A and B are shown apart, each in its own frame.
Chain A
Amino acid sequence: MTPTTPSAAIEAIEIGRRYGNVVAAESVSFAVARGEFFALLGPNGAGKSTVMHILTTLVAPTSGQATVMGHDVVTEAKAVRRELGMVFQDPALDERLTAAENLEIHAVLYGIARRDRRQAVDEALTWASLTEVGKRRVRAFSGGMKRRLELARAIMHKPRVLFLDEPTLGLDPQGRRNLWERIGALRENGMTVLMTTHYMPEAEACDRVGIIDKGKLVAIGPPAELVAKHATTPGATLEDVFIRMTGHALRTESATAREMTVSFGKRGGEHTR
């Protein structure tokens, strides 16, 4: 096993995760430098979220090891959690609570001192341009508002590494552009960002991209370099390269517990939202 690179913000060494016989990720190795903007690209079910969950300590790897800001994700999970901010693929908010209440819970969970909590909540609301609706329940928020709230929440405790799991999923172009500008501002402040995405323009704007397929990392490098190296036709784009490397076949995957829960809720079978 290679020794860890001390300057790396995130380092994954041969990490893998199996669920019984199913391999969700296998021998994935990469490093993200401090202040780098890194995107994981891959078809549905390729293992992007698994890698993300291993790095954020939500899932233990069944092989390999990984560090975030020098802390091991398994043995020093608590230290890793203090360093990172996370925006999940779909909102992880309590919809019966107000925006301010959601933020206050976050402040407590991350140990922000009581005297600073109010200020932290107000600042996060201001950052997300949600001050006016801070006392409204999140249930009434649009998808874009929820995303802004979650992004503001993720950086509330001043993490040094930000994980974004398809942050612009389901947003309209206006919402996507707005969120992207906010993410860009964080980048200028030196935040390390690891994101997963399906949108090629977003991936092209990153410092480096890792293409992941069937649980394995199949290519890694700056977007322009990947295009130059793997393009077969002149004028090829990152999307062409992506399709070429991961194939044209549509991916079928069974619904996850999350998707089943969501659809159950949509049918009106949910009592507690």
Chain B
Amino acid sequence: MTEMAAPIGVKAWMGISPAVVHIMWQREMLRFFRDRSQLWGGLSRTILWLVILGFGLGASLREIEGYTYGQYILPGVITLNVLYASLQCAISLVWDREVGLLREVMVSPAPMLSVTLGKLLGGASIAVVQGTIPLLFLPGIYVAIDPVAIIEAWVVMFFMGILMTAVGVIIATRLKTYEGFGAIANGVIQPLYFLSGSIFPLRGVIGGVGFIQIPDALRDELRRLGIFAIGGGWVVQLPAWIQVLVYCNPVSYQLDLLRHVLLGFEQLPMAADLLVTFALPLVATVVAAFMMGRMLKSR
């Protein structure tokens, strides 16, 4: 090759090189948008859970705390998409390490912390895109579109994405081969999803079929007055052991915040929601970066 300024080495401060973070983030985005199957996956999950289950089960369970079943599970479906997007992005690390670009990255002088940050930001950005798909169905489930609520929801999705990508990266650094992916999908995503208060409430008033049907405008009006359950129903409460699992699941708090932002309904203490949503991802990021560095040395 002809004359060119010699490389000056990666500019980094405390292991953070903006250029490296950016290119690794960009790589994740390019990979995602070139693989349509992931977008279709997000769409089909939304249709299955929000439309089919939402309207199907919603026909029997008329309302939960004054919300239709479709409305109630909307934040859950967003969460499901975020979980899939982040974990899929993170687990691809195993493939990447054995037969992909990651070896090239590991042998380069680029700081591993920046590589990890790029990966996490990429996973979180994909999670926001995937989590936005259910939002497109808002008019279909009679939820008014509020721009502020949507922006707040994106922020929550982003931090949820950081946390779950970091968790996935930590798992991926421990996985020897890719064959464990199926176990991750079923053994991690689904328990986190089912035990997050996504599809059933911790406790609440649930209305059955046959109770009075009221117009949506009136429902909104009553909600503003603090009246949630109309006509009648049952007070339900989850068995204690499931409650314990839900309380232990960090996704529960992030989902609760998401539901608060989108519907104005929450079941868990707001302080816990905020702490778990914004502080835990930072801790997980540090652990993920540490594990990435260790994976390199222990091979």
Contacts and interface: CB of A to CB of B under 8 A. Distances in A.
Question: At the interface, is chain B mostly helix, strand, loop or mixed?
Answer: helix
B94 A261 contact: yes
A271 B98 contact: no
Interface stretch (A5-13, A119-127, A243-251): A119-127
B109 A110 contact: yes
B30 interface: yes
Contacts, number: 150
B101 to A, nearest CB: 4
Nearest to A120: B4
B103 A92 contact: yes
Interface residues of B, number: 49
B179 A264 contact: yes
Given A109-B20, A157-B7, A261 B177 contact: yes
A88 interface: yes
Nearest to B93: A272
A113 B8 contact: yes
A216 interface: no
Contacts of B2: 123
Interface string A41-76: 000000000000100111110000000000000000
A133 interface: no
A110 B7 contact: yes
A123 B30 contact: no
A270 to B, nearest CB: 6
A229 interface: no
Contacts of A157: 7
Given A114-B19, A261-B95, A93 B100 contact: yes
B35 A96 contact: yes
Contacts of A86: 104, 107
A96 B31 contact: yes
B30 A101 contact: yes
Contacts of A271: 37, 88, 92, 181
A94 B31 contact: yes
Interface of A: 53, 56-60, 78, 81-82, 84, 86, 88, 90-97, 101-102, 104-106, 108-114, 116, 119-120, 123-124, 127, 137, 153, 155-158, 257-258, 260-262, 264-265, 269-273
Interface of B: 1-2, 4-11, 17, 19-20, 22-24, 27, 30-31, 34-35, 37, 88, 91-92, 94-96, 98-110, 176-179, 181, 296-297, 299
Which 3 A/B pairs are nearest by Cβ-Cβ distance?
A: A111-B10, A272-B92, A109-B108
